[in-house]
Structures are given as C-alpha cells and as structure tokens.
C-alpha cells in the first residue's frame, strides 16, 4: 500500500514538474502568451497586402527573365544563384542578430510589428510551425517589395538590348530576392519535424537550405550564435571569426546597451 502511495506521489511530482516546464518554455510561457496576443488585425492586413503584391511581382519579373534567357548566360546565372544565396544568408543573419540582440517590443511601430516575433520565437520556438503562410512570410515580402518594383520598372522602361546586357546582374538580384523572400519559410521548415515534403528534407539533408540539426545550435540559451537562417552556410566561418561577438562589443562600448537584455526580460516572465 505504501509503495503504491509512493509511486502515485512520484507520478504526481513528475506531472507538476512537466507542467512547470511548460509554463517556463513553449506556448504556455507567460511571455509567449503575451507576445502572441500582440499580433493585431492591422498587422495581419499588412502581411496579406505584402504577400499578394510580392508574389505578383515575382511572377511578373520571372516571366520577363525567362523571355530574355540565352544559353550563353548560363555560367553567370549559376554564379549569380550561388552569390545570391550567400548574400541572402548573410543578410538573414544580420537582421536576425539585430532583432534578437537589440531593441525592445516597446519601441514605436517596429517593436510590436517586427521585434515581437523574435522575442516570441525564443520562448516558444515551435510557435512558428503554427503560423500560416501569410504570417510566416509577410514581413520578408515587405522587405523585398522595393527591389521587385525596381526590377519591374526596368522591364517596362528599358530596351531589349539594354536588358540583355543587364541580364546576369538581374538574375543575381532576382535570386537574392527569392532567397530573401523565402528565408522565414526555410526557417519554419527547420523547426518542423513532421509532415515536411520529401523535397524539403532532401534540400535540408544536402544543406542547400537551413538544416534542422544545424539550427538547433542557435536555440541554446542565450541565443548568441548561428544567426544565419537562409542556408546556414556562413554560420561556421562567422562563428570562427567571432564576427557577432566583436560587433556586439563594439556597439556596447559605444552605446552602453547590453546585448539581448530585452530578450532575457521576456524569457524571465513567469506571470
């Protein structure tokens, strides 16, 4: 009888520990719940507009690029694809590092709209897997609108001869835009362990896009490394160089601001 009571008591303690863990981490974390509640109808409308306009421009520009394609462009186009992926990876790391490390959710306009998702993600890393296509990709679509509009303007105003001369460069810019647009979708896939299409897992396994195991390194507290989330190709060399740490030391020395102070504040919320 006593043994049964001991077993029941141990199970009850385990259940309490599990419940406490869920409150400290994941969707039940107090900070995660508060941050999720800040996602507004206005923000949703902005994301819808950006996604629709972005993908309309992508389709428009892709058609024009295909119409201008020539076999002799192939080597430079392939080089542009690789260069576009590398630069997109670095830019994803720069934006990710900046939003993770500096700023606050309380900042006007950008706080709730753009910094909030980064704070939520560290407390509840799987929240991104519950976001639909619009919420996942809306902000990236906003960022790529200007270069897409500029490209569309060139196709409408420049001569065929001029466009053929610019073709390798425009292909590079287009590849950079595509990688940038889909960075957060790739990031979402790196947190998704069930139901991914075979072609996505294949690209992850070949490290063409950010692999799941690779991205786990970033999610070890205090989230101070491996910020690049498009392909992840640059994470190791930047880490060996101490790139982010040196940049943080420089900014802290100039401003007195402590890296990841706001991120830590949200992580420590318990009520």
At residue 9, the pLDDT reads 46
Mean pLDDT of the chain: 88
Q: Please give the share of the chain, as a percent, with pLDDT higher than 90.
A: 71
Helical spans, DSSP H, in the chain: 2-24, 30-37, 41-68, 74-101, 110, 116-123, 133-157, 160-181, 183-190, 198-205, 212-216, 235-241, 243-255, 261-267
Structure tokens, 195: 């139901």
DSSP classification of residue 258 = P
Section 154-178 average pLDDT: 96
Q: What is the pLDDT of residues 202-235, one digit of tens each?
A: 999 999 999 999 999 999 888 899 999 999 999 9
At residue 264, the pLDDT reads 85
Name the pTM for this structure.
0.86
* Cα→Cα distances 26→30, 33, 88, 109, Å: 9, 9, 29, 26
- Residue 152, class by beta-carbon neighbours within 10 Å (0-12 exposed, 13-18 middle, 19+ buried)? middle
Q: What is the pLDDT of residues 58-108, one digit of tens each?
A: 999 999 999 999 999 999 999 999 999 999 999 999 999 999 999 998 888
pLDDT at 136 over 80: yes
Query: Using an 8 Å Cβ cutoff, are 228 and 235 in contact?
Result: yes
Which is higher by pLDDT, 17 or 132?
132
Q: Please give the share of the chain, as a percent, with pLDDT higher than 70.
A: 85
User: How far is 73 from 66, CA to CA, in rounded Å?
Assistant: 12
């Amino acid at each position: 009888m006593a043994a049964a009571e001991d077993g029941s008591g141990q199970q009850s303690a385990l259940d309490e520990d599990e419940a406490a863990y869920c409150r400290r981490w994941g969707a039940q974390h107090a900070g995660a719940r508060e941050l999720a509640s800040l996602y507004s109808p206005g923000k949703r409308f902005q994301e819808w507009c950006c996604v629709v306009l972005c993908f309309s421009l992508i389709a428009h520009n892709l058609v024009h690029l295909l119409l201008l394609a020539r076999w002799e462009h192939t080597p430079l186009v392939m080089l542009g694809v690789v260069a576009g992926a590398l630069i997109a990876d670095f830019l994803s790391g720069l934006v990710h590092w900046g939003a993770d490390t500096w700023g606050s959710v309380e900042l006007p306009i950008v706080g709730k709209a753009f910094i909030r998702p980064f704070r939520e993600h560290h407390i509840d890393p799987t929240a991104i897997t519950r976001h639909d296509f619009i919420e996942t990709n809306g902000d990236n679509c906003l960022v790529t609108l200007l270069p897409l509009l500029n490209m569309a303007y060139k196709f409408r105003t420049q001569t065929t001869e001029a466009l053929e001369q610019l073709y390798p460069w425009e292909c590079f810019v287009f590849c950079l835009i595509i990688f940038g647009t889909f960075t957060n979708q790739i990031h979402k896939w790196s947190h998704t362990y069930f139901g991914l299409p075979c072609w996505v897992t294949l690209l992850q396994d070949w490290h063409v896009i950010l692999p799941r195991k690779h991205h786990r390194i970033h999610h070890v507290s205090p989230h101070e490394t491996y910020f690049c989330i498009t392909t992840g190709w640059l994470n190791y060399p930047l880490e060996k160089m101490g790139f982010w740490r040196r940049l943080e030391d420089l900014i802290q020395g100039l401003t007195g601001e402590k890296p990841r102070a706001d991120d830590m504040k949200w992580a420590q919320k318990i009520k």
